[in-house]
Amino acid sequence: MRLQGRRALVTGGSRGIGRAIALGLAREGADVAVGCRSARAEAESVVAEIRAMGRRGLVVQGSTARHADAERLVAEAADGFGGLDLLVNNAGILRRTPFLEIAEEEWDAILAVNLKGYFLVAQAAARRMVREGTNGAIVNVSSAGQAVAAPNLTHYCVAKAGVEMLTKQMALELAPHRIRVNAIAPGLIETDMNRADIARDEFRRGRLARIPLGLIGAPEDVVGAVIYLASNEEARLVTGASVFIDAGQTIWGA
């Protein structure tokens, strides 16, 4: 119950890593708003599980890549709970396309959700926290791709590298307001976005060959780090950091 009484918003919380984080925060005592773009039914299912734990839960729906939606997502979460203490920026999309074949529209779409969306939602949440004098925390879900290149993921890795610097900039400028900002950088975590790739023997063998622990993660593997970074007691001196949860993937580099 390290997060008893905390009020959280998790974007992209209807499935995969976001779902695991939303439920993990609720188990530690937080009330959780589950953000989704289109998967309303899945988000409602997560909220039902949150409420079954005795916590408050609600669904907020919209595109994090649009300014008006980002502002509304934060407002609905904060108004629903009477404030906001914690934001987990998690909404993201993935496309595997060779560099020479990436269309401008695809580049824009990846950067809009995976980087711009983090900026928009975090800015809206931070403004609310500052206005209300909240000692808040923001956790950005990045990727090991912020540190190493990967075939056919130019736009994705560039966006995640941007998330790393966005995390540092936010941490620096929000520190006077006692708002901590950190990131987690997962490695190969099996979710709906990559399950078809992992099922292919060639892909699976190639990835495992570059992971020292030889393990593919599950969404639940990242939850502990988020809870730690969200805790104003245990992580009170931690800001601007990226916690790698990658089974050693980045030890060897690209």
- Known catalytic residues are 143, 156, 160
Q: What gap in Å lies between CA 71 and CA 212, rounded to an integer? A: 41
Contact 139, 184 (CB under 8 A): yes
Sign of the dihedral through C-alpha 138, 139, 141, 147: positive
Using DSSP's 3-state secondary structure scheme, residue 7 falls into: strand
Helix (H) or strand (E) holding 78: helix 67-81
- The pair phi, psi for residue 7, each rounded to 5°, is -120, 120
Token pair recorded at residue 70: 């980002």
Residue partners of 133: CB distance under 8 A and separation at least 6: none
